Structure 1
Amino acid sequence: MRRAMRAELTVTAKGQVTLRQAVLDHLGVKPGGRVDVELLPDGRVELRPAGARADVADLRGALRRVGQRPLSLEEMQSAIEEAGER
């Protein structure tokens, strides 16, 4: 099980925050690098290295639905062909 890393940061009078080296190392961001910030609806913020792309492996199970069995490639091809005939 992966353990979450926590860091408490201080906001300056200018409203700026300096990220600790451990955070930058975790993101793989070097000096001069850029960070993407996503503001989430629940008040949280997500940081990621700018230009970082999700790994294809991260998509595994993204379309899984409870109670629905996975389809074989043959079943998928058949469904595509059937839809094309309509």
Structure 2
Amino acid sequence: MGLESKITSKGQTTIPAEVREFLKIGAGDRVGYQFVDGKVVLVPKNRSALDFAGVLHQPTRAPVSIETMNDAINEGISERFGRSCDRD
């Protein structure tokens, strides 16, 4: 089954060391919880936006405008949730 931990009467648990090391989290860091396909996913919240600078960079990709990005995001949200995010 993998790793597991016990829930206390106060609803607390200890995240196994292997998981903390994998997520690069430690004392004082925050974690989030997301429901995905009937499961709960633990999401580390200890990284700043600057940690992600350049992760999507592809030298061969042509630059796009903010408007094009916003249109693509809006289209993705519309397809996923059946609603528009237009602010006009």
Answer with 1 or 2: which has the greater Rg. 1
Instruction: Please give the TM-score of this superposition, normalised by the length of structure 1.
Output: 0.48
